[in-house]
Amino acid sequence: MNVEELSGLPPGALEHFRDEGIEELYPPQAEAVEAGILEGDSLVAAVPTASGKTMIAALSMLSAVQRGGKALYIVPLRALASEKKAEFDAYEEFGVTTGVTTGNYESTDEWLATKDLIVATSEKVDSLVRNGADWLSDLTCVVSDEVHLIDDRNRGPTLEVTLAKLRELNPGLQTVALSATVGNADEIADWLEADLVDTDWRPIDLQMGVHYGNALEFHDGSTREVPVEGSEKQEAALVRDILQEGGSSLVFVSSRRNAEAAARRLSQVSSRELTDEERSKLSELADDIRNVSDTETSKDLADCVERGAAFHHAGLASEHRTLVEDAFRDRLLKMISATPTLAAGVNTPARRVIVRDWRRFDPTAGGMSPLDVLEVHQMMGRAGRPGLDPYGEAVLLANSHDEREELFERYVWGEPEPVRSKLAAEPALRTHVLATIASGFARTREGLLEFMQATLYASQSTEGSRLESVTDDVLEYLESNDFIEREGGASTAGSTETDQTVEAATDAFVSASELTEDSDAGSDGAQAADSAAVDLTATSLGHTVSRLYLDPMTAAEIVHGLESADDRPTALGLYQLISRTPDMYELYLRSGEDETFGELFYEREPELLGDAPSEYEDARFEDWLASLKTGKLLEDWADEQDEDRLTDEYKIGPGDLRGKVDTAEWLLGAAESLANEIGSEWTVAVREARARVEHGVREELLELVSVRGVGRKRARQLYDVGIEGPADLRTADKGVVLAVLKGEKTAANILENAGREDPSMDGVEPRTDLEGVEVRTDRGGSRATTDGNGGTDEPDDDQASLGDF
DNA sequence: TTTGCGGCCATATAGACAGCATGTC
DNA sequence: CTATATGGCCGCAAA
């Protein structure tokens, strides 16, 4: 089908596609058009990566906009949101505007309401639904990218529930779900009442094979000699082999450490094939990487990059990841070894994909378990760059004849697993049941269960009673924690007639009045006739929790923690409190650390909020210590310890540290709202702890870091020469300021931001003798002889007790 | 005595969304 | 119950 034949798109769109070099639709795209996506029909497209899914989405959304509608594109990752936004921005050319909204991007409702296309993460959409964003009811088309993630235990239910809610909110909503090829795309299509396009077609050929010994054997029977020389590893031979043809490679491994080790080893291979120009560009890139953060990880990565290779995993800071991904796409980096992050993330195609480790450690399985076929297919799908490579190659590594057979069976010829809803898991239900009640999607237990009928879970489960009983458990939990109230009927399922008659006497009036109200809730109408209906309402606290996007269990923990505090909670107390909630991804204890943190526990026990589990309850006590470890990490960060030191001491990557800090910021912000809600007297303590973790500073620097351009390091240096806040910056000796801040521009900017009237640094000489000014000596005077950052790296914690008297 | 290397044992193991109100070194 | 890479440690042999 030719692009010219498409109708119903905004004027100028066809021209745009032509300019992009798109003339003929790929067969799956043509099928999608025939299925009616241009007329607003729903569709599930289960097609391989890089076979034009985005075009299917674009056609659906643009035709919806042309009909006067508005479209939403749901992505699983923030990084993908920006990637898609950049892609859709090109439509501005013909007047179609795009907005993004994710947790850390700006987003005002009014602003989004004016956009034609909106890109958002599934959690953000869920949050928008909970907060009742008006423009949601204007949507006429929703695209859900990577919809197979519904299978994900943690985040799948959010996507599932969100899609169900959007569809209930907007009857007739065009739903376009894009999925990897999965075992049961037809079930998803049934659920969404959509047509199905299910195909293995790819624009460039994908050769799948297994390397064993000195030979690479492909699924079509062809083979290729790839001899392993000397003591080199299989992957080294494969990387070298394809590099000599000018192709890049992507090696998937099972752990971060493996990724780093492989990159180090393989950089010896890539290093041999670099031109001088590439070398100099790579060395610039390496400098950029070192500048991102002053940590071991950063240095190791830079060292590899200089030689044309890189590793990629979640321990990297996001800037690291972006730099590496971009350089790889620009063909500057020849090889990346990665954990599965890369398979699900932004588009980073390579000529040859090597899936080295196909087993992964899984403690729940008691050891190593094979990767899902779906997952391996996602990795293999990264092979082949459209327009650049004649074909892509995906290679698995075997070290025995038997393993080679197994790999062919399992991954080359094997079918991917079906997608299974994980909604019935209690943690997921806790959150979504509360949200469903709080945002008015269900007002009775029966209405709630009926809403659940609209989920994939219901369409897949054979015994509906499971969902019902878990739902009742969850309702029980929510009620006992004061998030919801239940009235009328009986409090649990399976109640008898006699129970009801007793209750009915007192609740008859309430039920009758609810009857009329229910009629505008639509779906509840049928149940309302049943006098035994249990009315569900969210309490004020429940509403807050739902809007804050907290797991109810997190909220309960925080509320209890704050209520149990007799004295003003310390920062550590609050940090440990949020670290033990399910919304904080825990650092686990390494061997030997149970002792270290056991000691810390006895030392700081009075600061911790709530009751510690008994030491004899092994598992729970371990968890408690693990959250103490996370809390201590946050305290150290807020005590101005160097990033380098923290990543080293806690054996985490810079990305992990930032992730923890980020989460802590979010949870403490939420904790402040909760403190307000329950009338706790500790809101100020919470706010201060949050501010400290946000900027990574001690209390005395909080004023300084509020000045734009001043972060934790500059603030400390200013403080050490006696400048304690914006007011001091306005009156301070410019020579002193300049001596501390180095650059004239920086100094002038900061003075301006502090509100100084004459910020200019023209003609100001940095003071070399800081004798004449008030120098802080109470924290160890050596700091004042500042000549950079060397020398004064002595741990600050020794002074912690001196600092706050 | 020092240095280098192989073998053995212990150890550790992927990922990352969200509120709210503004901006690092 | 399953695997595998790494790093520390030890003992041995060569320098």
Helix axes of A445-452 and A465-480: crossing angle, nearest 10 degrees: 130
Residues A491, A89: Cα–Cα separation, whole Å? 52
Task: Kindly state the average pLDDT of the residues A31-55.
Answer: 94
Nucleotide nearest to A363 (CA to C1'): B13
pLDDT tens-digit readout, A687-742: 999 999 999 999 999 999 999 889 899 999 999 888 999 989 988 888 888 888 88
What integer pLDDT is reported at residue A620 of this predicted model?
A: 86
What integer pLDDT is reported at residue A528 of this predicted model?
A: 44
Instruction: List the nucleotides on chain C closer than 7 A to a protein CB.
Output: 1-7
Asked if residue A341 keeps its beta carbon closer than 7 A to nucleic acid strand B, the reply is yes
Domain boundaries, chain A: 3-198, 205-412, 426-542, 550-696, 709-803
Task: Kindly state the average pLDDT of the residues A318-326.
Answer: 94
Residues A239, A353: Cα–Cα separation, whole Å? 9
Q: From residues 416-475 of A, list those within 7 angstroms of strand B by Cβ.
A: none
What integer pLDDT is reported at residue A796 of this predicted model?
A: 37
Query: How sure is the predictor about A793, in pLDDT bands with cuts at 50, 70 and 90?
Result: very low
Residue A321 has pLDDT above 70, yes or no: yes
* A256-265, A690-699, A788-797: least confident range: A788-797
CA–C1' distance A393–B7 (Å)?
A: 38
Edge-to-edge strand ranges of the sheet holding A335-338 = A223-225, A215-218, A205-212, A391-397, A352-355, A249-252, A335-338, A309-312
Q: Which residues of A214-224 are buried (b: 16+ CB within 10 A; e: fewer)?
A: eebbbeeeeee
Query: How sure is the predictor about A767, in pLDDT bands with cuts at 50, 70 and 90?
Result: confident
Nucleotide nearest to A716 (CA to C1'): B25
CA–C1' distance A590–B2 (Å)?
A: 36
* A597 DSSP 8-state letter: H
Task: Kindly state the average pLDDT of the residues A294-321.
Answer: 93
Residues 6+ positions from A245 with CB-CB distance below 8 Å: A351
Residue A48 has pLDDT above 80, yes or no: yes
pLDDT tens-digit readout, A633-642: 999 999 999 9
Residue A378 has pLDDT above 90, yes or no: yes
Q: Do domains A3-198 and A205-412 have the same CATH topology?
A: yes
Residues A670, A544: Cα–Cα separation, whole Å? 9
CA–C1' distance A368–C9 (Å)?
A: 27
Architecture of the A426-542 domain: Orthogonal Bundle (1.10)
Sign, Cα dihedral of A270, A275, A276, A279: negative
Instruction: List the nucleotides on chain B closer than 7 A to a protein CB.
Output: 11-25
Q: Which residues touch strand C (CB under 7 A)?
A: A 257-258, 261-262, 265, 357, 359, 361-362, 365-369, 399
What integer pLDDT is reported at residue A61 of this predicted model?
A: 98
Q: From residues 345-364 of A, list those within 7 angstroms of strand B by Cβ.
A: 345, 360-363
Residues A397, A412: Cα–Cα separation, whole Å? 12
CA–C1' distance A171–B15 (Å)?
A: 35
End-to-end Cα, chain A, rounded Å: 77
User: C-alpha distances in angstroms, A459 versus A142, A285, A463, A683?
Assistant: 21, 51, 10, 45
Q: From residues 517-576 of A, list those within 7 angstroms of strand B by Cβ.
A: 547-549
What integer pLDDT is reported at residue A774 of this predicted model?
A: 54
pLDDT tens-digit readout, A202-240: 989 999 999 998 899 999 999 999 988 877 888 999 999
CA–C1' distance A582–B18 (Å)?
A: 13
Asked if residue A155 keeps its beta carbon closer than 7 A to nucleic acid strand B, the reply is yes
The Cβ of residue A802 has, within 10 Å, a number of other Cβ atoms equal to 10
Instruction: Summarize the annotated binding site of A as residue ranges.
Output: 29
Q: From residues 488-517 of A, list those within 7 angstroms of strand B by Cβ.
A: none
Q: Which of A620, A621, A651 is nearest to A633 (CA)?
A: A651
Residue A779 has pLDDT above 70, yes or no: no
Residues 6+ positions from A461 with CB-CB distance below 8 Å: A421, A424, A467
What integer pLDDT is reported at residue A798 of this predicted model?
A: 32
% of chain A surpassing 90 pLDDT: 67
* A412 DSSP 8-state letter: I
* A409 DSSP 8-state letter: I
Asked if residue A254 lies in contact with residue A337, where contact means CB atoms within 8 angstroms, the answer is no
Q: Within A272-400, where are the H helices?
A: 276-292, 296-306, 318-329, 341-344, 373-380
Bridge pairing between strands A141-144 and A71-75: parallel
Residue A772 has pLDDT above 90, yes or no: no
Q: From residues 90-109 of A, list those within 7 angstroms of strand B by Cβ.
A: 102-104, 106
Average pLDDT, chain A: 87
What integer pLDDT is reported at residue A799 of this predicted model?
A: 31
CA–C1' distance A379–B8 (Å)?
A: 36
Q: Diameter of chain A by CA atoms? A: 91
Question: Taking the domain A205-412, which CATH number applies?
Answer: 3.40.50.300
Residue A495 has pLDDT above 90, yes or no: no
CA–C1' distance A263–C14 (Å)?
A: 33
Instruction: Summarize the annotated binding site of A for ATP as residue ranges.
Output: 29
Give the CATH fold of the A3-198 domain: Rossmann fold (3.40.50)
Task: Kindly state the average pLDDT of the residues A31-53.
Answer: 94
Residues A442, A444: Cα–Cα separation, whole Å? 6
Tokens 């490579």 belong to residue: A389
Which of A460-469, A585-594, A745-754, A786-795 ranks highest by mean pLDDT? A745-754
Nucleotide nearest to A318 (CA to C1'): B16
pLDDT tens-digit readout, A575-607: 999 999 999 987 888 888 888 899 999 999 999
Which residue lies nearest C5, CA-to-C1' measured? Answer: A258
pLDDT tens-digit readout, A540-551: 999 999 999 999
Q: Which of A253, A236, A206, A217 is nearest to A403 (CA)?
A: A217
Residues A471, A370: Cα–Cα separation, whole Å? 33
Question: Taking the domain A550-696, which CATH number applies?
Answer: 1.10.3380.30
Bridge pairing between strands A359-362 and A367-370: antiparallel
Residues A380, A218: Cα–Cα separation, whole Å? 13
What integer pLDDT is reported at residue A354 of this predicted model?
A: 95
Helix or strand (DSSP H, E) at A561: helix A552-563
DSSP, collapsed to helix, strand or coil, labels residue A522 as coil
pLDDT tens-digit readout, A420-429: 999 999 999 9
CA–C1' distance A362–B12 (Å)?
A: 12
DSSP, collapsed to helix, strand or coil, labels residue A243 as helix
- Top pLDDT among A129 and A494 is at A129
Asked if residue A427 lies in contact with residue A391, where contact means CB atoms within 8 angstroms, the answer is no
Helix or strand (DSSP H, E) at A509: helix A497-518
Residue A792 has pLDDT above 70, yes or no: no
CA–C1' distance A336–B10 (Å)?
A: 30
pLDDT tens-digit readout, A181-206: 999 999 999 999 999 999 999 989 99
User: C-alpha distances in angstroms, A229 versus A232, A236, A645?
Assistant: 6, 9, 40
Residues A35, A32: Cα–Cα separation, whole Å? 5
pLDDT tens-digit readout, A83-129: 999 999 999 999 999 999 998 887 677 889 999 999 999 999 999 99
Q: From residues 714-753 of A, list those within 7 angstroms of strand B by Cβ.
A: 714-715
DSSP, collapsed to helix, strand or coil, labels residue A802 as helix
Residue A487 has pLDDT above 60, yes or no: yes
CA angle in degrees (0–180, nearest 5) for A543-A682-A802: 145
- Top pLDDT among A46 and A465 is at A46
Task: Kindly state the average pLDDT of the residues A294-303.
Answer: 92
CA–C1' distance A542–B24 (Å)?
A: 36
Residue A34 has pLDDT above 80, yes or no: yes
Beta-bridged to residue A370, according to DSSP, are A359
DSSP, residue by residue, A277-299: HHHHHHHHHHHHHHHH--SHHHH
Q: From residues 565-594 of A, list those within 7 angstroms of strand B by Cβ.
A: 583, 585, 588, 590-592
Question: What type of residue is A662?
Answer: D
CA–C1' distance A505–B3 (Å)?
A: 92
A756 torsion bin: left (phi>0), alpha (psi -120 to 50), beta (else): beta
Beta-bridged to residue A141, according to DSSP, are A71, A174
Q: Which of A421, A445, A341, A438 is nearest to A158 (CA)?
A: A421
Query: How sure is the predictor about A143, in pLDDT bands with cuts at 50, 70 and 90?
Result: very high
Residues A76, A99: Cα–Cα separation, whole Å? 16
- Top pLDDT among A14 and A779 is at A14
Q: From residues 121-150 of A, list those within 7 angstroms of strand B by Cβ.
A: 121, 123-124, 127, 131
CA angle in degrees (0–180, nearest 5) for A144-A150-A154: 120
